Chains A and B, each alone.
Chain A
Amino acid sequence: MSMLRSSLALLAVSLAAGALQAQTDTSANEDYSMYDNLGFADSGAKRYCSPKIEGLSPAKLISLGYDVQGPYALAAGDLLASDGSTVLGQTAQVRATHGIRAAFNIPVVSKTHLVWQMGANYWASNYTYADEVNATSHPLHQSLSEHGLRTAGVSTTVFKPLDSKRFVLFQGSADLSGSYGIGLMPADYLKYSAALIYGKRPTEKKQWGVGVARTYRVGELNYIPVILYNSTDALNKWGAEVLFPARAHVRRTINPRNMLFAGYELEGQSFRLWQNPGSGFDLRKEDLEIRRGEARLRVVYECSLKDFIWLSVQAGYRVNARYDVDRLVGGREIYRAFGLLRDDAYAQVNGLGNPLYFNVSLNLVSP
């Protein structure tokens, strides 16, 4: 009987052997030094640097958020019409500027020697006036009150490592911005932005680069130098995420799933003024664009809610840099080069108060 029991026990152990092997790691006493002297089996293989550095905040694949600016005064200046007449300016109180912000950015090619991403974005800015009746007596306020401003665009990013330390980064986008409706998206008014950066990644925790950009971030078209700088300290507690002058943040990593940022971002675009309701001055007969540029001084908190779903909350101060209306000349925008090439007057010079703002978004972050 005892022999039968021991035989059955041996049988059970045999059957269980495979399952146990799958669950346990038998390498506890392994001599890991045997893995020190290894090299590529393929002697021709090359190492390439990664687009990321250690400790960097996670890239957002899909983002859906809402942005709200608090009350401020919008002083619309005199508007010089194309027929030589003048529409007198008017100051109105904006109770809030708010709207959805959605974006996605999907890797198309993700190889060691090339990373290519495509994306799209949609931002809406709805203007809620404190006194809608009085505000709508001016064409700019009318248009903003009724239609707000929208930006829809596509973007692409290409990261090309040259070797284990050097890389080239290209970002390009085409945006259609203005007070258009869904069915009115004249491709003639697409705005193209691009940046080309040459950089180095000397360590796993630092990368930097220099380049040039064609940008509307300061409200109107400009060509400016850009500086990329990302770094993380040795203890993974502090870091910097900078693409100057577009944005710069100091990062405090509480842990890899909780991060705090302080810094600023420049936002801007040229918005086609196409629609305004009612009778009187008709914006559609003019060739006008708002050159909007603003700085957002802010604190941002980002955390993982569950696995790859991250919450981002930001609060700060929106500082207006420009909100002037420019007239196209022959259907083309005026390139002033900060006043060095041309110094044409704007069709309307506007002033905005600087409110507090708040932004919250849910994000699906990249592996």
Chain B
Amino acid sequence: MFRKIALWTASALIAFTSLHFDLQEAPGDKLVGVWEPSNGRARVKIDRIGTKYYGRIVWLIEPNDPETGLPKTDKNNPDPALQKVPLKGYRMLKDFVYQPDGTWSEGTIYDPLNGSTYNCVIKMKDKNTLEIRGYIGVQALGRTDVWKRLAVQPSKK
């Protein structure tokens, strides 16, 4: 009996620890939130999963494909198997790790407009502004986009 209780307790403890580790706020969590790229055509929600940060599209200014009238899918993806995946919910930022220098790197950014994936580094200029640099191999061969943090707007009376 004692052995059973000990096993259950140990398992529950590990499960709780694992969950707690995920819920605990990390220094890089200031990145978490909803952000808008400079073109204003999409909104991206960034979350932490484990120790890495991911961003998925949660809003599109033009949610439907003008050709089909149906919700947009990732039709420009070079992998035909992924071309039917809805863009809304699509993870376009992947695998970012918060670094001691205050940046998030080691991740990639995906551009649904051309189906290309780039290396990417994220810098927080201030708490509401991100500089997202997509690049090819070395940072000099890249382009920086500025994203702004979004918040719920107070309803107008």
Instruction: Identify the A interface with B (CB < 8 A).
Output: 3-4, 7, 10-11, 13-15, 17-19, 21-22, 25, 27-28, 30, 32, 35-42, 45, 47-48, 50, 54, 58, 61-62, 106-107, 110-113, 164, 204, 234-235, 255-257, 307-308, 364, 366-367
Closest residue of chain A to B109 (Cβ to Cβ) is: A367
Among A17, A21, A164, A367, contact of B116 (Cβ-Cβ < 8 Å) = A367
Q: Mark B1-43, 1 if CB is under 8 A from A, else 0.
A: 0001001101110110011011000000000001010111101
A82: shortest Cβ distance to chain B, in Å? 48
- With contacts A10-B8, A39-B153, A40-B149 known, what are 8 further pairs, Cβ within 8 A? A17-B15, A25-B56, A61-B136, A235-B67, A256-B76, A308-B116, A364-B141, A366-B141
Whether B89 lies near A10 (C-beta < 8 A) is no
Q: Which of B128-157 contact A (CB under 8 A)?
A: 128-129, 131, 133-136, 140-146, 148-153, 155
Chain A hits for B150, CB < 8 A: 35, 38-41
Total interface residues in chain B, CB < 8 Å = 61
A-B contacts, 21 listed (Cβ < 8 Å): A4-B7, A7-B4, A10-B15, A15-B18, A18-B21, A30-B89, A32-B59, A35-B43, A37-B155, A38-B36, A40-B148, A41-B128, A58-B114, A110-B133, A111-B144, A112-B145, A235-B66, A235-B67, A307-B116, A308-B136, A367-B135
A34: shortest Cβ distance to chain B, in Å? 8
Whether A32 lies near B88 (C-beta < 8 A) is yes
Is B78 in the interface zone, CB < 8 Å from A? yes
Complex CA–CA separation, A143 to B134 (angstroms): 47
7 residue pairs, one from A and one from B, having the closest CB atoms = A14-B15, A112-B146, A38-B150, A41-B151, A42-B128, A7-B7, A367-B134
Whether A38 lies near B144 (C-beta < 8 A) is no
Whether A36 lies near B59 (C-beta < 8 A) is yes
